[in-house]
Structure 1
Amino acid sequence: MRGRQGDQQVAEDELGRGIKSVEIFGTVLATMTGLGEGPALADIAAAAELQPALLRPYLTSLQRTGLLDADGEGGGLSFGPLVARLGRCRIETLGHRYGFLPLAEEIAATEDLLVGLVFWSGQVATVAKVVPSRASLNINLRPGTVYNVTGTATGRTFLALSDDPRVAARARAELAGDATLPAIGDVPTEDALARMLEEIRTRGHAFVCDAYFPGINGLALPVRDEGGRLLCVMTLVGTAAGFEKARAEALAGRLSARLAQICAAPQAVPEPAGPSDGMLDGGLPATESAAVPAERRGVGSAEIAGRILAAMALSRHPRKLKDVCADAGLVPAKAHGYMVSLRRTGLVEKVPGSPRYRLGPVAAEMLLARLQSFDAMVAARRLVEELSRETGMMCFLSTWGTFGPVVVELVRGREARHTDIHVGRTLPLARSATGRLFRAHVSADVRAPALAAEAAVFPDLAALSPAPAQLETEGAAIRAAGHATWEQRGPIRLRSLSAPIFDHNGGIWFALTLTGEMERVSAEEPALLRTLLAGVERISADLGYTVPR
């Protein structure tokens, strides 16, 4: 059976007796992180070395708990919405304990470099979080982007410093030309790769100059835990002109010293002032459980294990066993065997030097595997078409570009009025629903170049823009409402409603905007907003976003 050992290969006799069915449950989840998009039951059974008949009830329970979803079109299986909560919780817990989340934000702000946090997931190194710089780099780096291990600084850092056998297996596949999942990076010769890996082990970091993205340089730094185990790689990206090798080497020395200091004495995540961040109230929220017929046979212990994992994800703070049991509706005396097996399969681990538990590495891998296989652009385009067809109105999709939000998809609808909106149009930040939405959600550093460019090209618009204090007040109101509006008055009277699509980190990826005749939109606004918000929230959930509690 293909399993993944947790707690840094803790010996079985140290953990004690577990529950065989829970270990099968964990093995199935760990196995699926390396199977690519939408594997069928037979593929999962073969990889996990299980008989399909034995596997089927486990898959039923995994769907029932929200850990898996069935693909209605392809017939395969994918990771479900609960996985998004688990992975996000794991990354945030580690990020604050080992300091790499606040450090990434600091680097982006002070050094004006894009920062990517990259974890291993299944077959490949996968981006978990991107912190943008003020400068626009025009590279498509996002959560879910995957790196080759031989052809990138990030991947080679994993290959040089990780003891995970899957990393070496991926390298062999790339060198042989047999890698099944395409990723960024050109494969070097074996001799050149060996020299690069030795340099990384000697210097402690990797640097690439003008490589797979023309005019872009990158620096990859390892992030380790207190035992020296590689947790993730922090990748810094800048222009070749502004992030030359001398600057990168000096920065690598300073940051490596800071990371080593943090990892030698990790920060204890403070306990919340009150009780746990949330309560399950008898099980998983109804919105997370897949619609599985009640009569379909599952595995009771697997569903209890799912409830334990959901309870672990209620807080990014490491948790006491009694608190997990209280939230999962489980008697503590019965929980030990479950925790043994969840630790053994990498879904849960103990905090070093503490009796508390946190989610294990497989939790993050499942989220990243979900991001690898989910195409948000395809889903958002489909939603644009659905909304326009249902309402008859113009509907369009925008994303943040070099100088503000840019329209990337548009359906005019049956009732479209004449407007100058078209694919490729950059929308004003202060005088459009889409612009106001992005302005409310992107940082001041990111929007500053767009505001400056807009003021230079359209000085009349800049003169009409509200004062900074009013902008902040409007931004807070838009974030609280979950959408932005704008009215165009004059001969053509239009009203627009715009709502965000978020990634698992809470960053805005897209804005989806409905535009129609002012009188109709105003009269039907509550119903239109319900439809719009339901659509964008569904895609945000598929990207791993969970509404803050």
Structure 2
Amino acid sequence: MGATGNNSGAVQSVDRALRIMKLLSVRGRLGVTEVAGELGVHKSNAHRMLATLAGHGMVEQDPETEKYRLGLGVVGLASAVTADIDVVRDSRAASQGLSRETGETVLLTTLVDGELVILHQASSRSSVFGVDWSGWRMPLHCTPGGKVMLAHLPEFERNTLLAGPLERFTANTIVDPEELRAQLVEVRARGYAYTVEELETGLNGVAAPVRRPGGQTAAAIGVYGPAFRLPADSLNELGETTRRAAGEISQRLGYHG
């Protein structure tokens, strides 16, 4: 019962914090007394919530009026969301073109909480993917998009993600971190990654990095299809094709490296 009560209180606090931010987005600036009145809580509770939000940069207090307004932390969150929206928007034409050119499924993926998340999918009529997998998560170490993201992470982040046991999905899955690190060096050198039946038997793929203006890897665009249509000896040529599509998207995002 104690744990349930604590969880309920935490949820209520989150709800009130979000209500404060929504109030400030509409009203502009509010004092502690006004916030307390809007939420129906004691003034001391409102003050504690505002102080916590201020500590995270979500709100800030005007030193002259002592009223609170939304802080720069909100701008940072909004920028992160907008960046992902921009990547998806600016990749659509190139993704559709790559799917038509290859006759296979094209996935735009990115790194979220240690997993590869599918942001957008473009499929040809001959694609083996019968549904839209947008929003689905995949492992990093055995997917071409995941290897692209791993290859371009700062070393300490890459080491953190490779520190735990790597799950084996097929006989071809690379589960030795040192072997995988050596492969990631090659990925950075040639500009694309590929997998041969590492996630699923009979499924091959290639992916290349999509870059932001500063050169950071924002996402990976990849071509995925059955091994009989994408044999291992065709993946280098497909990698160059995919790399060109990734470069086109990167340019649309403002990268000119």
TM-score (norm 2): 0.60
Partner of 1:111: 102
- The 8 Å contact of residues 222 and 234 in structure 1, kept in 2 or not, is answered as yes
Matches within 5 A, 1:92-491: 92-96=85-89, 99-138=90-129, 142-163=133-154, 168-175=159-166, 188-260=175-247, 263=250, 265-266=251-252
SS state at 2:214 partner: coil
The answer to whether the 8 A contact 2:88-2:119 is kept is: no
Question: What residue number does 1:69 align with?
Answer: none
| Cα deviations by residue, 1:254-286 (Å, 9 ceiling, x for unpaired) | 3324533663x5468xxxxxxxxxxxxxxxxxx
Q: Give the residue type in structure 1 aligned to 2:210.
A: V
Aligned pair partner of 2:16 in 57, 60, 65: 57
Structure 2 residue identity aligned to 1:163: P
| Inter-partner Cα distance in structure 2 for 1:63 and 1:173 | 40
Matches of 1:196 and 1:41, distance apart in 2: 47
Name the SS for the 2:163 alignment partner: helix
1:240 and 1:90 mapped to 2: Cα distance?
A: 34
Structure 1 spans left out of the alignment, 5+ residues? 1-39, 45-51, 66-84, 178-184, 269-351, 353-549
Alpha-carbon distance in structure 1 between the residues aligned to 2:20 and 2:137: 30
CA shift, 1:95, in A, is 3.9
Query: Map of 1:12-91 to 2, 5 A cutoff?
Result: 57-61=16-20, 90-91=83-84
User: AA paired with 1:204?
Assistant: G
How many Å separate the matches in 1 of 2:10 and 2:155?
Answer: 23
- Check conservation: 1:149, 1:167, Cα contact below 8 A: no
Higher RCO (CA < 8 A, seq sep 6+): 1
> Given that residues 159 and 168 in structure 1 are in contact (C-alpha distance below 8 angstroms), is that contact kept between their aligned partners in structure 2?
no
How many Å separate the matches in 1 of 2:9 and 2:227?
48
Change (3 A) 1:241 1:62: farther
The amino acid of 2:191's aligned partner reads G
Distance 1:106 1:238 in 2: 16
Q: Is the 8 A contact 2:174 2:198 kept in 1?
A: no
Structure 1 residues 262 and 215: alpha-carbon distance in aligned structure 2, compared to 1, 3 A threshold = closer
Sequence identity percentage: 17
Distance 1:108-1:62 versus aligned 2 partners, 3 A rule? farther
SS, match of residue 115 in structure 1: strand
Q: Residues 232 and 56 from structure 1, CA distance in 2 versus in 1: closer, same or farther, beyond 3 angstroms?
A: same
Q: Name the SS for the 1:173 alignment partner.
A: coil
Q: Deviations over 1:71-109 (max 9, x none)?
A: xxxxxxxxxxxxxx998864442345xx42211011112
Q: Give the Cα–Cα distance (whole angstroms) in 2 for the partners of residues 259 and 164 of structure 1.
A: 23
Within 1, Cα distance between the matches of 2:20 and 2:180?
A: 44
TM-score by length of 1: 0.31
Unaligned runs of 5+ in 2: 1-6, 25-77
Q: Contact 1:150–1:174 at 8 Å: present in 2 too?
A: no
> What one-letter code is carried by the residue in structure 2 that aligns with 1:259?
A
Q: What is the DSSP-based 3-state SS (H/G/I as helix, E as strand, rest coil) of the residue aligned with 1:172?
A: coil
Cα displacement string for residues 105-124 of structure 1 (whole angstroms, at most 9, x for unaligned residues): 11112211101111222332
Distance 1:172 1:139 in 2: 35
Q: Pick closer, same or farther for the CA change 1:59–1:235 going to 2, 3 Å.
A: same
Contact persistence 1:174–1:187 (CA under 8 A): no
- The 2-side partners of 1:227 and 1:251 are apart by 26
Return the structure number with greater helix share.
2
CA contact (8 A) 1:126 1:144 kept: yes
